[in-house]
Amino acid sequence: MADIYLFNPSTEIALAADSPSFTPTKAVRKFERELCLLPALYAPAGSAILLPPGCLTADECEALPYFQTASERGFTLVTTDDIPAGSRLIPWGWNRAVAHYARRKGFATESIPSCEYISELRACANRALTLKLWQEIVKSPDFAGSPLPVQLMDAKSLDTVLTGLGCDCIGKAPWSSSGRGVFPLTLPLPQIGRQRVADTIAKYGSIMVEPRWNKVLDFASEWVYAAGELTFLGYSVFESSESGRYSGNLVASQTELLSKISAASRPGLPEKAVEAQRGAIFSALQKLMQLHDNQPNLPPLHFGIDMLTDANGAINPCVELNLRRTMGHVAIDLYQLTEQTFTFTPGSPLSF
């Protein structure tokens, strides 16, 4: 069974839409087109890359980022019209639209998630799941007493929630990515902020309200679940704006990354965060893992948990769960590929 990789960073938006006919916006399609060869940086040499439907021919890819890497590593570029029957699709992330596309294009049926799996994946990708993770994480004495996020389902309760948390907060839409759908919530809240909360609840049914941390360093734990085993792949360190917009990753050895994280946190706390996360993952994602086990030919489930350190060396061990491959995974794979330390910005030339 041949593996064909697809970069579809619109997967969270597609999960929110929950439609087999979902189509990304023009801007997102342009981004997916420009970075469609990104799998050349993380997939095994000699694999295949699926080009965005209706966007490109193989000959038009020479000017795209990572074309040279794809050529040097022996990748085959596949269009939607020449997919070998019985291949296995490995997308950046699954959603109902991608699963529908895979069935329609003849990918191996046993390698496509069931409808039940996609529904559970969507439920787990909802930011409300961070509350379940937090409820497990605070059982660890190292994180006991940390303020928990609140799932708000009624805009009329907003002032009560903000007053109860007693600090500057941020609001998060249930499904979004790279900082989109994240906005500040501080009393006294202007009308535009109240309207955004009300609009988000009307569209998605809820919104997450979380204390705002005084961020010093963004980092993450990167995981994979396959064949009944949960594996911690390592740490990643990344840069983002105040609003959470991602801008790049540090590619370095795990020793270097842990040293950087440790310098910004209390002694031993990064390792304790990962230990607490492991137990929380098994609890919060139990059903999804069982469904994954029921389909042994599914691709491995990659995901990451964003974290941060504050000015006091404390760690927020669960800023966000990303139930898909992340740029942190790419950074780990890039170091294994290059053994060089550099900053990776998606789309920019590799600077090593």
Q: From first to last of the 352 residues of the chain, give the pLDDT tens digit.
A: 699 999 999 999 999 999 999 999 999 999 999 999 999 999 999 999 999 876 667 678 888 999 999 999 999 999 988 899 999 999 999 999 999 999 999 999 999 999 999 999 999 999 999 999 999 999 999 999 888 999 999 999 999 999 999 889 999 999 876 667 899 998 899 999 999 999 999 999 999 999 999 999 999 999 999 999 999 999 999 998 776 678 899 999 999 999 999 999 999 999 999 999 999 999 999 999 999 999 999 999 999 999 999 999 999 999 999 999 999 999 999 999 999 999 999 999 885 5
Bridging pattern class, strands 215-226 and 301-310:
antiparallel
Helix axes 286-293, 269-284, angle to 10 degrees: 70
How far is the C-alpha of 272 from the C-alpha of 285, rounded, in Å? 20
Q: Which helix (H) or strand (E) element contains residue 119?
A: helix 115-125
Residue linked to tokens 């998630």: 113
Give the chain's count of helices (H) and strands (E): 12, 14
Backbone phi and psi for residue 158, each to the nearest 5 degrees, phi listed first: -60, -50
Q: What is the pTM of this model?
A: 0.95
Q: Where are the domains of the chain?
A: 3-112, 114-352
Phi, psi of 119 (to 5 degrees): -65, -40
DSSP letter (8 states) at residue 33: H
DSSP state at residue 313:
S
Q: What is the pLDDT of residue 181?
A: 85
CATH class of domain segment(s) 114-352: alpha beta
Annotate 243-286 with DSSP letters as a single string. T--EEEEEE--HHHHHHHHHHTS-TTHHHHHHHHHHHHHHHHTH
Among 214, 216, 207, CA closest to 189: 207
In order of 78, 88, 234, 272, 309, the CA distances from 298 in angstroms are 20, 8, 22, 31, 35
Strand partners, 138: none
156 by DSSP, 3-state: which?
helix
Q: Any residues with CB less than 8 A from the CB of 68 and at least 6 apart, and which? A: none
